[in-house]
A and B are shown apart, each in its own frame.
Chain A
């Protein structure tokens, strides 16, 4: 954009307005550059490759939908997709329920509240990988719980300990996600609760509403923006996360990010295009679901008369 060029007569902006607009642009530039170049560039490259454009491997059959065809035509892809969505949804819902309960508890006054306010944020500062390592140390068949059981004579072989990790029920994966995301959702909901104050709830209570009615008719509609934004972020992360399902999952069929990694890691590098098709599919599925979720929420907001 050229700034020094004379203003076009059609743009009836005063010099000051032009200046502020220009400064707005300048301030937006860094974030736009990152989004467009890094994120957008990677997205475009991924889509190109998934459609058969990879001249650096000597493969160029653009546009070629056979990679998507092969992927979507196999039953294992749908099994993987189902698993991916199952882990993501269950974790997000559990974290949401726990997060709302925790946030409601934190609003009340109780002794040593300051200490608890710091304590619940602890998992936020610990990386996922550490959480996964904790799960392995505690819950695996050779882990602490299993060893304690052996110590007290309840079992005499690791295989007798109930299998928590490495199954397709995904207890380990869900446990790590919930442990890490409950504080995050709590933080978002708690901030909204502080902002709206207690007056409306108290008014409802004086008018004779039960605690249940107060929660569903008064509190929940007010905290909904916090709920929607935090669950959006958690769900999107859970769909695309790789480490937890890879380390704690039950093996074949894997979740989609792990499937993609396996394609990328194969000695046959032409399979990377198939991997890219998998990555793009993850993006498509997550995008459609998140878009639908947001659209439903917007419609609800409009019905409530909020904008």
Chain B
């Protein structure tokens, strides 16, 4: 009896080891280009399922996952297991904990992420490897570094993607105003105009509290616009190793001063302390209730989608703000190194970058296409264009003309820490000291 039990458990152990050796072997062979796509699909069928971890805060996206992605994968013999998390960091933490526990296989096959979370996984060596250019649908993306438009696929918050994540959606930081409350001639297009508007109408604006990435982005735009050298986003493409603390402090001081001066004009500041909403849902609520006149977020089609779902006021219009510094970036799908179903993950990544997937995602969730329209054939480009929910009050040309790149992930951490110290805690230390301290803490 006992002996049988031991024997079975031993067998199970050996089998598990064999499976693990399989996934490791498969990974090496695939990255070396020795596995053709048909073999990947066959292996994906054997694996049978894929665990996709993603932020589950959007009902539209969750419905799309269940009704479109799941059946599409089903037809390829893979069961989609969507794991909806409240913050992407949870999935990153899980991957790192499993990697460091010495377990050969984790539970995460794929994460929807970008920016700091990708930088963390890369720093911890927890990525599957350069899989993106090897997928059949990689042809839908611009990989040629000669073409300057490829930078969004090659760099994520300034960190080289190295093909370890594949673009899934592209976004731009766009602000909307409530036309019932703001006259067309009063709509600000620069930070100075925003301040004069708020001097007339105190309390009618707020931004999401850093370290939330949407709040960080507003702070970064203010810093670009107040760059003392007038070079906008340019110096912020470097990593913290390339730019000394004192230099960074000099570059961000005017922007930080502006935000500090803006504080007494923000929502509820008259009542003692300004109110920064915690997340998008909170800001949308304030905008819908007329408590603020503006709402800024990553959302090219946020207004069109918000009007359709009733989460935006009926008079909401997008506008160009701040001129020349509207941050644009992409978000990605990454596969961790300890993914238990690597082949199924590759099949999912490949399907997600197909024209079919991108067009239906755009149509049903309002999330912009992550693939590059100039790389598609005419029918594909047309499908994407027709799926778009449409812009409200702005033109695509104007958005493109005012686009700015994101800040390097290593600097985002510093800027975030500076905001928390200088603006939230009202520290009396000079910005130079705060930045130097942030550099020290991050070097640990």
Q: Identify B285's interface contact among A142, A157, A266, A268, CB under 8 A.
A: A142
Which residues in B have their C-beta under 8 angstroms from that of A250? Answer: 273, 275
Closest to B86 in A: A265
Which residues in B have their C-beta under 8 angstroms from that of A167? Answer: 271-273
Contact with A along B57-98 (1 / 0, CB 8 A): 000000000000000000000000000000101001100110
Bound together, the chains give a CA A265 to CA B276 distance in angstroms of 17
Q: Which of B141-149, B286-294, B302-310, B381-389 contacts A (4 or more CB under 8 A)?
A: B286-294
Closest to A159 in B: B203
Write the nearest CB–CB distance from B51 to chain A, whole angstroms. 21
Cross-chain contact B290 with A142 (CB below 8 angstroms)? yes
Write the nearest CB–CB distance from A259 to chain B, whole angstroms. 12
Cross-chain contact A267 with B444 (CB below 8 angstroms)? no
Which residues in B have their C-beta under 8 angstroms from that of A166? Answer: 268, 275
Which residues in B have their C-beta under 8 angstroms from that of A56? Answer: 96-97, 100-101
Contact with A along B239-281 (1 / 0, CB 8 A): 0000000000000000000000000000110111101101000
Cross-chain contact A267 with B100 (CB below 8 angstroms)? no
Cross-chain contact A267 with B413 (CB below 8 angstroms)? yes
Cross-chain contact A158 with B290 (CB below 8 angstroms)? yes
Write the nearest CB–CB distance from A251 to chain B, whole angstroms. 6
Bound together, the chains give a CA A167 to CA B275 distance in angstroms of 9
- A252 part of interface (Cβ distance < 8 Å): yes
Contact with A along B95-128 (1 / 0, CB 8 A): 0110011000000000000001100100000000
A55-B271 in contact given A76-B425, A270-B444 (Cβ < 8 Å): no
Contact with B along A183-194 (1 / 0, CB 8 A): 000000000000
- B442 part of interface (Cβ distance < 8 Å): yes
A141-B87 in contact given A167-B271, A251-B209, A267-B120 (Cβ < 8 Å): no
- A180 part of interface (Cβ distance < 8 Å): no
A252-B100 in contact given A141-B289, A142-B289 (Cβ < 8 Å): no
- B323 part of interface (Cβ distance < 8 Å): no
Chain A, 16-32, CB within 8 A of any chain B CB: none
- A213 part of interface (Cβ distance < 8 Å): no
Contact with B along A137-163 (1 / 0, CB 8 A): 000011000000000000001110001
Contact with B along A27-71 (1 / 0, CB 8 A): 000000000000000000000000000011110000000000000
With A56-B96, A269-B89 given, name 19 new contacts (CB 8 A): A55-B100, A57-B96, A142-B290, A158-B289, A158-B291, A167-B272, A250-B273, A251-B273, A251-B276, A252-B424, A265-B89, A266-B211, A267-B89, A267-B117, A267-B120, A267-B413, A268-B442, A269-B96, A270-B444
Residue pairs across A and B with Cβ atoms less than 8 A apart, 24 shown, are A56-B97, A56-B100, A141-B289, A142-B286, A142-B290, A142-B291, A158-B290, A158-B291, A159-B203, A159-B267, A166-B275, A246-B278, A250-B273, A250-B275, A251-B273, A251-B275, A252-B273, A265-B87, A266-B211, A267-B89, A267-B117, A268-B413, A269-B89, A269-B120
